[in-house]
Structure formats: structure tokens, C-alpha cells
Structure 1
Amino acid sequence: MMMMKVFRSPARHGYAVEVSPFIPNRVACAASQYYGLAGCGALLVLDETESGVSLVRSWEWSDGLFDVAWSETNEHVLVAGGGDGSLQLWDIANHSAPLRVAKEHTQEVYAVDWSQTRGENLIVSGSWDHTAKVWDSALSHSLTTLRGHEGVIYSTIWSPHIPGCFASASGDGTLRVWDLKAAACRLAIPAHNAEILSCDWCKYDQNVVATGSVDCSVCVWDLRNVRQPVNQLRGHTYAIRRVKFSPFSKTVLASCSYDFTVRFWDYSRNQPLLDTVEHHSEFVCGLDFNLHVPNQVVDCSWDETVKIYTPACLSAGTHSTAP
């Protein structure tokens, strides 16, 4: 039986979750009223306890919040992206207002990510205005604006390996890899014949990126040869909202979908689907692996819950070792 802890956030529909890189039991969730279509947003900071999940801090925002990322250098600071085109920098020690609000995007900010490589401390954002922007860690101003996508940008993720490099996924069906030094797109992959809502880098291989699409498939790409995917993972019955690679196993990844499920895959196998978790009653939008607790997963859904659990397919031990 899978152990699970649940946090309920009435009238707040979860869009994104991220586990703290510093505090093993701490999770941030970006949520919105009225399914993000109208109303306000909320940023929740939660701690897993022995008995459940407790609220550490919550802030309200005047528009829906669609993504959140923890600082990689300060355990108290996080950034969120909003429906009003803003990025906000929040500090757990500051109860009332964000440290800073940056509003350069002209439409919804759907993606934010904090760089993970040593030697830089940057934020990347992706927006419905078709641009990605890179910011300093204080959000004082954007350092560069990157154009090239012909559709909404749904996902922007820094490479965990290569400084100044990030990937973006768009409604135009392409996955793009960007080089910050050159302020240019290095690679544009026509990855799906449909909108791509998510992308993620493999934690162990700088050449491997996964994409999740409205076409219900996850594609795993080797950036050295992009004529066809390494594997195409099928099983979801509606759009895939988010994909995440495991930090503990090179070929394991998770995906969550508008079909209310979270699925776990090992793309190196002939039968890649490891498990399907069906514990939500609405779209599952947010998903993350805990970096500190092997195989622990956090997800959030439009059903107003955040759930913390370790899927049986991973806790069996067959996928617990890094290469």
C-alpha cells in the first residue's frame, strides 16, 4: 500500500510544485482561484511532518500563479510566475509582500526556473508572449530576451550540466535549446505535431531531454541526433502537463496529465511504463521529485490537493541507484 500525505487548499487549484533544494521536507506550490481562468493566485509553502503536511506560509497574489522555483542559493527565497505577466520574488521571512516584482512580459508567465550550475545565479521565464527572458537573481531587470518561438512558451528549464543553457517547450510544437552567451537558439527540434506543455533535462546526461505534449505522448530526445526520439512513451489519454526526470535513476521519469493520472516510466525498457497512479479527481498539473528523499514524489492538482508519496514501482529498490 502506497503511503501518502495530503494537503488540502480549498478554492486553490494547484499548477506547480517544487521541493526545496535545501530543506528535505519543504515544498512550494503555485495555485490559482477558479482554475486559473479568473481570480487571484496563492503561493503556498508546505512542510511534510510525521502526521501529515502543514502550511508554513501562504501569500495571495492579484492574478493566477502558474509556476514556482526555489532559489538555488538562498533557502528562504522563491520566484513565481503570474497571469499578469509578472515574476515575483518571495522571502519566507517576509510575511506581507514580495521582495520584488518584475513585469516585462506582456502576457502570462507560465514558466520560471532557477539555474542549477555553479558559477551563475540566474532565473529564466517563459511567457505566452512567445518570449523567454533571463534575469539576475534579484529580478532587478531582465538581462536578455530570447525570441524564436512562434507560439506560447509553456516551459523553460535550465540545463543542470551546461552553464548558460536552457531548453524551452512551446505551443508551436518545437523544443528549443538556447545559448545565453550567444543569446541565440542553438537547436530547434520539431518534437511533436501538437503543443508541447513541458520539458525537462536528464540529471545524468547533458544530451537527454524529455518533452510532454497535448498529443498524449512523452518523447525522450538525444540532442546529438534529433531526427527521431530515443523513445516515445504512450499511455496517457489526455494532454501531458509536466514531465520530470528522477534525480536518482538515469532512465526513470514521471509525467502528469489532464487524464488525472501520474505515470512513471523507464525509457530504457521495452515496456517502459512502470506504474500509473490515479489518486486525483481533476487535472494533475504540478509534479516534482524530492532531491533528498529517494523516490519521493510531490504532485498537485486542480482538485485542490497537494500529495506527497513514494510510488511502489520506485520504492521496490530496482530504480533506487544512480548510475
Structure 2
Amino acid sequence: MASMLEFRTPGFNPYAVKYSPYYDSRLAVATSANYGIVGNGRVFCLALTAAGIKVEKMFDTNDALYDLAWSEINENQLAVACGDGSVKLFDLSVSDFPVMSFHEHKREAFSVNWNPITKDTFLSSSWDGTVKIWSPSRPTSLTTLPVGCCTYSASFSPTNPAIVSAVSSDSNLRIYDLRTPVSAKYHLTTVIPVHAAPAGPVLPRLPDGQTYAGAVPAEILTHDWNKYTDTVIATGGVDRLLRTFDIRNPASGPLAVLAGHEYAVRRLAWSPHARDVLVSASYDMTVRVWSDGSSAPLTPAPPQHPQIRSGTQLGVMNRHTEFATGVDWCLFGSGGWVASVGWDERVLLWDAHTLLR
């Protein structure tokens, strides 16, 4: 893979990487000293230049950093999720200190996500069991969604600014609709038990002929919305499997089950360029590119034997030498550039096309 670019974050272990939604040559990395167990954090804002990857700006924090999200309204701003429960907003055009700090979470803030439609809000999720929605111009949250258990990942829908998803330690994928009255379950509209057997008289079959009878519940660490089919969400977590679900049919079980990782799936991201492609980073030190199988016709199955797709592993990037913790697609260019980070203090940029079998 000759086209791989590398940047090192000495003394800091990356947790997340995000490409700028404005520039194909800018990305940011959220890192923590001592693997995020104790110590401070650092944001690296990186520029891709003709001479390689250069530091554009660095911001230090007093606590570990676990995630970040670029602002959708200001090309120089990004929000970071901190181990002290705060979410900080940094501006590349301002010196060392955050321009805003939002501090309501009672435990580690573990994910942040900017609303891609209205662009005027962002959210955070925390180990305290809540998702909070913020305005970048207000110090107090606009809304708190109680999940009730450690919430590793939350996200806005890519097409509807009122719909929020969250995955958590209790093995559930939750969907909230902010248009519903708060008195109705705090906007909660759908709960999908990720590991449950599908409802129905007959269990669906996997492509190898076995029936899918569900799995032992395990923590869900990551999820993402499909950018082309706005009712499909992929999940990943401790049981090593990626699953895709259609939130319109919460009882029908997974659309696809993707197996291959040897340890927990830490982060995944659907491609912005192809409806059936996603990438995942795992504690097995690999980053894998998949097709969920949705572009291939299903072999006809009688209705009493519905099928689950197995998808296809398109390739493996195994250059990380520690846990692979973050991955993101570049929105621009030929459609294959991926950034991945790991606890090996490395940021790797590579073209997924070079992996495809």
C-alpha cells in the first residue's frame, strides 16, 4: 500500500479521527495521555500538504479526549468530548483556550456529533446515561435524553434534524424523535435489542443455512447511519460482529451480520460514496472494509425462511500495532480515502481501493 500517509502523536493515544466537512486536506484527532486512564488530552488539527502531514494547530486539555466533531457552521471550530464530562468547543483561529465549555454530564463524555441538517446544534453522550443536545452559543443544554445506562455513541440522523440515535452498554439501539411530546417517554420512539432473536414464528436463515437465533447481549460501542438509506443503521461492539438494522422494522432483527473481527469493534462508519460500503476499527488492531450485501440480490427465500445477509469483507488494513480506535472517510476526492487511528500513537491515511479484493 504505497499511498499510505502517516503521522505520529508521541505521548498521546488517539481515540477518534474526523475529516473536515469543508476541506479534503484537513482533519483532527482526539487523543489522551496514558491511554485515557489518567492524565491530559490533546487535539491535533492536521493539514495534508505536499510535504506530508503537518500540525496546523494543537489544543491541550486537562483531561482525556474521547471523541470530536467538526462544526457544520464554522469551518474553524470543533467540539471535543472530555473525560471530566465536559464538551469543549475550540476555534483554530483563537489561541489555546476553548471558546466555549459545556459541563453538565456527571461522568465521561464519550461521543459528540454535529447536526448535519439544521447545523445549529450538536449532541454529546456520556457514561452517565444521558444524551444532551446543545447550541454552540448557549452554555446550558437545550434537551437531555435519558438513556439510563452508559451511552457510548449518539448521532443525529443524516436526513432528519429531529431524530437522534444512541447505543449503550445494555445492548440496545434507541431512536428518539424530538418532535414528540417530552411527556411521551422523553421523545423515545424505538428500542431495538441488538442481540435479540427476530420476532416471528420462524427464525431467519444465514447464508450458510444456519438460523439466526440472536446472541448473548453485549455492550454496543459504536453505530452509524447509512448515508443513502436513512432508515438503516449499523452497530458494532464487544461481541465482534457488525449488524445492520432497518429502524422501520425494529422487531425483524438484523438485515445483515458481518463477522470477521477477532476482538471488539470500537468504531464504524458508512461510506459517504457508496450505499453498501462501511469501514470498522477494532481492538484486534485491524481496520476492515465491508459490503453489507445490499447491492447484491438475495437468493429467493420462502417467506417462512427469511434471510439475513452475511455481507462481504472487502479488505483488511493491518498496519496498526495497537488497538484501532477511530476511523473516518474523506468526503471528497475519488471516494476511497480513509483515516484511521490507534493506541500505537499513529494516524494513518490510506486509500480503501487498494484493499479491495
TM bucket normalised to smaller = over 0.9
Q: Report the Cα distance in structure 2 between the residues aligned to 1:84 and 1:272, rounded to whole angstroms.
A: 39
Residue 240 (structure 2) pairs with residue 200 (structure 1): no
Q: Helix, strand or coil: the match of 2:34? A: helix
Q: What's the CA shift for 1:2?
A: 4.3
Aligned to 2:352: 311
Residue 163 (structure 2) pairs with residue 138 (structure 1): no
Q: Report the Cα distance in structure 1 between the residues aligned to 2:179 and 2:84, rounded to whole angstroms.
A: 29
Residue 324 (structure 2) pairs with residue 299 (structure 1): no
Q: State how many pairs are aligned.
A: 314
Please give the per-residue CA displacement for 1:258-284, whole angstroms capped at 9, x wherever unaligned: 000000000115651100110101011
Please give the per-residue CA displacement for 1:23-63, whole angstroms capped at 9, x wherever unaligned: 11100110000000000000110011223210000011000
8 Å contact from structure 1 (residues 150, 172) kept in 2: no
Q: What's the CA shift for 1:73?
A: 1.0
Distance 1:89 1:271, change over 3 A: closer
Q: Helix, strand or coil: the match of 1:126? A: strand
Q: Report the Cα distance in structure 1 between the residues aligned to 2:219 and 2:311, rounded to whole angstroms.
A: 26
Aligned to 2:327: 287
Identical amino acids, percent of aligned pairs: 38
Please give the per-residue CA displacement for 1:58-109, whole angstroms capped at 9, x wherever unaligned: 0110000000000011100100010000000100011220001111000000
Aligned to 1:158: 156
Q: TM-score, normalised by structure 1?
A: 0.94
Q: Report the Cα distance in structure 1 between the residues aligned to 2:356 and 2:45, rounded to whole angstroms.
A: 26
Q: Helix, strand or coil: the match of 1:142? A: coil
Q: Report the Cα distance in structure 1 between the residues aligned to 2:133 and 2:39, rounded to whole angstroms.
A: 28
After superposition, residues 83-94 of structure 1 pair within 5 angstroms as 83-94=83-94
Distance 1:315 1:264, change over 3 A: closer
After superposition, residues 122-271 of structure 1 pair within 5 angstroms as 122-147=121-146, 149-182=147-180, 183=182, 184-192=187-195, 193-226=217-250, 227-268=252-293
Q: Report the Cα distance in structure 1 between the residues aligned to 2:94 and 2:256, rounded to whole angstroms.
A: 45
Q: Report the Cα distance in structure 1 between the residues aligned to 2:78 and 2:169, rounded to whole angstroms.
A: 26
Q: Report the Cα distance in structure 1 between the residues aligned to 2:355 and 2:244, rounded to whole angstroms.
A: 20
Q: Report the Cα distance in structure 2 between the residues aligned to 1:180 and 1:313, rounded to whole angstroms.
A: 42
8 Å contact from structure 1 (residues 21, 291) kept in 2: yes
Partner letter of residue 26 of structure 1? Answer: R
- Please tell me whether Structure 1 or Structure 2 has the larger radius of gyration of its CA atoms: 2
8 Å contact from structure 1 (residues 201, 210) kept in 2: yes
Query: What is the Cα-based RMSD across aligned positions, in Å?
Result: 1.4
8 Å contact from structure 1 (residues 113, 158) kept in 2: yes
Partner letter of residue 314 of structure 2? Answer: L
Partner letter of residue 130 of structure 2? Answer: T
Q: What's the CA shift for 1:315?
A: 7.2
Normalized per residue, the structure richer in strand is: 1
8 Å contact from structure 2 (residues 60, 96) kept in 1: no
Aligned to 2:52: 52
Partner letter of residue 125 of structure 1? Answer: S
Q: Report the Cα distance in structure 2 between the residues aligned to 1:139 and 1:251, rounded to whole angstroms.
A: 38
Q: What's the CA shift for 1:150?
A: 3.4
8 Å contact from structure 2 (residues 31, 64) kept in 1: yes
Please give the per-residue CA displacement for 1:162-217, whole angstroms capped at 9, x wherever unaligned: 12111111011011111123241111111131000001000001110000110000
Q: Helix, strand or coil: the match of 2:142? A: strand
